[in-house]
Amino acid sequence: MSLDKKVVLVTGGASGIGYATVNRLAKDGVHVVVADVQAALAADVVTQLKSAGGSAEVCELNVAEEGAAAAAVTSIVETHGRLDGAFNNAGIVGPKTKLLEIDPSQWAQVLAVNLTGVFNCVQAEIAQMIQQASGGSIVNTASICGLVALPHATAYNAAKHGVVGLTKSAALEYGPKNIRVNAVCPGFIDTPMLAQGAGASPKVLENILRSVPMRRVAGPEEVADVVAWLLSEQSSYVTGVAMPIDGGWVTQ
């Protein structure tokens, strides 16, 4: 892969899909900035990456906080002189209720982290990449819920559809600057979030498995592999896509 010595920011890098991705990128020779609201956990991840021979640093970041992503990018550029790529992946599950039962504060929180958080990051990253005039690759984590709706997940569905729209808009506007912006749309991935959400009930999980054409959930490494490809030059003419990684689930 052509990722050696690139500087890449990964949000939500302390757990799940982000954790698998920082491991994959570090193996590819990337200097990984492991950004997470759980700073202590992110620091442990950085220690692990370094002891495995990788290059990494921690960044305490709440993506929902206005100005925080911009400050993180500034700090990366002060140290490394550039930002080559980013994986905007931090996210939370929403309330598992019907629309009428959603509390406005729950709605606001899911949108703040899962949509505005991605916007905050993308805006700061593209501004830096334009200044560098060296192009760049950005990958946002949407979901199959960015392509279709799952029941009892209105806020999450809305935020993830928003991430897909934001990704397409950014790809259109900044393609001329050689900045590529894509989204991954994971299906059912074996992470702490799945355990907290759909996977919390064995019955629900069994139904999920039956509904996936490939009849299994995925490991987070299977998402990390696609993200690494999208970040690399091997996908040099791919931009604006919302790529399902779902064992065929949305094709039904």
Ligand X SMILES: NC(=O)c1ccc[n+]([C@@H]2O[C@H](COP(=O)([O-])OP(=O)(O)OC[C@H]3O[C@@H](n4cnc5c(N)ncnc54)[C@H](O)[C@@H]3O)[C@@H](O)[C@H]2O)c1
In the bound complex, what is the minimum distance in angstroms from residue 43's beta carbon to ligand X?
12
- In the block, tokens 């808009």 appear at 169
Catalytic residue among 19, 156, 174, 237: 156
**Six-digit token pair at 185?**
């749309």
What is the distance, to the nearest Å, from the Cα of residue 120 to the centroid of all Cα atoms in its chain?
13
Secondary structure (3-state) at 102: coil
Query: Is 176:224 a contact under the CB 8 Å cutoff?
Result: no
- Which of the ranges 23-31, 45-53, 62-70, 102-110 carries the binding residues for ligand X, by CB under 6 A? 62-70
Q: Rank residues 19 and 174 by Cβ distance to ligand X and give the closer one.
A: 19
Q: Which stretch binds ligand X (CB under 6 A): 10-18, 45-53, 166-174, 236-244?
A: 10-18
CB of 197 to ligand X, least distance (A): 7
Instruction: Tell whether residue 12 is a contact of ligand X (CB under 6 A).
Output: yes
Structure tokens at 172: 């259109």
The reply on whether position 189 binds ligand X by CB under 6 A is yes
95 binds ligand X (CB under 6 A): no
Cβ atoms of 56 and 33 closer than 8 Å? yes
191 binds ligand X (CB under 6 A): yes
Q: How far is the CB of 90 from ligand X (least distance, A)?
A: 3
35, β-bridge pairs: 11, 59
Q: Are 68 and 88 in contact (CB under 8 A)?
A: no
Selected binder of ligand X within 54, 94, 95, 117 (CB under 6 A): 117
Among 54, 85, 91, 95, which residue sits at the site for ligand X (rule: CB under 6 A)? 91
Nearest distance from C-beta of residue 80 to ligand X, angstroms: 20
- Site membership for ligand X, residue 235 (CB under 6 A): no
Q: Taking CB under 6 A as the rule, does residue 192 contact ligand X?
A: yes
Which residue's CB is nearer to ligand X, number 192 or number 248?
192
Residues 243 and 227: their CA atoms lie apart, in Å, by 10
Q: Could you say whether residue 141 binds ligand X (CB under 6 A)?
A: yes
Q: Is 21 in the site for ligand X (CB under 6 A)?
A: no
CA atoms within 13 A on the CB side of 119: 17
Q: Any contact of residue 37 with ligand X (CB under 6 A)?
A: yes
Instruction: List Cα–Cα distances, 218 to 163, 203, 209, 210, 224, in angstroms.
Output: 22, 18, 11, 14, 11
Contact 66, 167 (CB under 8 A): no
The Cα 219–Cα 227 span in angstroms is 13
Tell me, yes or no, if 156 is annotated catalytic: yes
**Interface residues toward ligand X, by CB under 6 A:** 11-12, 14-18, 36-38, 61-64, 89-92, 113, 117, 141, 143, 186, 188-189, 191-194
List the catalytic residues: 156
